[in-house]
């Protein structure tokens, strides 16, 4: 299997007592088509906001091109682009 370009392990985001993202884990490899699906309020936008460094995760690990999002957020900003739906 190809080396992952994005690895997400047990990603979580809390807003006070509310856990908006509950242990999301996945990986992506170069050339793969990936979608994040779920009902309203499932945490899709919050997850994308954490991956693009707009929000800091409460816990979990994100690795982009071999670099940790938590220790090297600038590398993630250079590697990830987000196009909002509206």
* Residue 53 located in a structural domain: yes
pLDDT band at 1 (very low <50, low <70, confident <90, very high): low
50-58: average pLDDT: 93
| pLDDT at residue number 58 | 97
pLDDT over 70 (residue 86): no
The domain in which residue 56 lies consists of 4-79
**CATH code, domain carrying 37:** 3.40.50.300
Instruction: Give the count of domains, the chain.
Output: 1
48-55: average pLDDT: 91
* Residue 85 located in a structural domain: no
Mean pLDDT score of the chain: 91
66-83: average pLDDT: 85
pLDDT over 70 (residue 81): yes
The string of DSSP codes covering 19-31 is EEEEEEEEEEETT
Distance of CA 43 to the CA centre of its chain: 11
């Amino acid at each position: 299997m190809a080396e992952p370009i994005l690895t997400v392990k047990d990603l979580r985001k809390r807003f006070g007592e509310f856990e908006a993202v509950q242990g999301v884990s996945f990986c992506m490899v170069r050339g793969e088509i990936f979608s994040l699906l779920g009902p309203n309020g499932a945490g899709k936008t919050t997850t994308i906001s954490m991956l693009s460094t707009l929000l800091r995760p409460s816990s979990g690990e994100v690795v982009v091109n071999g670099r940790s999002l938590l220790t090297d957020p600038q590398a993630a900003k250079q590697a990830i682009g987000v196009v909002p739906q509206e």
